[in-house]
A and B are shown apart, each in its own frame.
Chain A
Amino acid sequence: MQANIALQREPFDAAAEVAALTRGRTDIGAVVTFTGICRGEENGAPITALTLEHYPEMAQAEIARQVEAAQGRWALLGVRIIHRFGRITPGEEIVLVVTASSHRHDAFAAAEFLMDYLKTRAPFWKEVEQEGRRSWVAAKESDESAAARWVARAAE
């Protein structure tokens, strides 16, 4: 299975990505699509924009490792990941994860796994513009524990 990973400044079209992944295929019985969108508020205050900084070479390599791990755990027939960088305003999409499989369980679980790992392991950093000030978004403990539970599940 060829994983298709893109890091880009431009917006994406989730429906077009799903269509491209499934076109001409009759083995796929389930597609799960996750789109992460820039909220208009952070910690109760309105935001003007997010700017995402990234480490391009490592992001590509690290996401590819995460996809490989997902392929080792679930029967996947296709994966498409797009992560944007640069300045993103509220309502715009930030990240896309599409997983395809024969049956729904694999696609659901792999999509959630990939998002949990993207949050905590992919080298991206968000800076938020709020009321004319810029500040770095702090990592959330809840994101760490969301990623950690996959390790616990693998050990079961």
Chain B
Amino acid sequence: MKLLYFAWLRERIGKNAEEIELPSGVATVADLVAFLASRGEEYAHAFQNPGAVRAAIDRAHVKADAPIAGAHEIAFFPPMTGG
């Protein structure tokens, strides 16, 4: 599964993309956030406030309880500030 990070999440994690193997038991976006936050200091820092993080599965917005089975690309980013 491909993960993408944008804005300050990208800066805190130190990369804009990576491929990961999903461990069993990671079923939703919230599960994935908790798993990622356990991968090291930079991830813990990026995901320290899960409420400040938005997610998209295969380029569409999703909520934290969205299932991630079958996803190809999951992106994490702060609330958007375009326009």
A contact set with B: CB distance below 8 Å: 36, 52-55, 57-58, 61-62, 65, 83, 94-95, 115, 118-127, 136-140, 143
Interchain CB contact under 8 A, B83 and A136: no
> Given A53-B6, A58-B75, does the pair A122, B80 have CB atoms closer than 8 Å?
yes
A122 to B75, CA, bound (A): 13
Interchain CB contact under 8 A, A125 and B7: yes
Taking the complex as formed, is B50 at the interface, i.e. its CB lies under 8 A from any CB of chain A?
no
Taking the complex as formed, is B15 at the interface, i.e. its CB lies under 8 A from any CB of chain A?
no
Q: How many residues of B contact A (CB 8 A)?
A: 16
Interchain CB contact under 8 A, B61 and A62: yes
Interchain CB contact under 8 A, A124 and B81: yes
> Given A53-B7, A124-B82, A127-B7, does the pair A61, B77 have CB atoms closer than 8 Å?
no
What residue of chain B has the Cβ atom nearest to residue A120's Cβ? B80
Interchain CB contact under 8 A, B83 and A125: no
> Given A55-B75, A123-B77, does the pair A61, B82 have CB atoms closer than 8 Å?
no
Interchain CB contact under 8 A, B78 and A139: yes
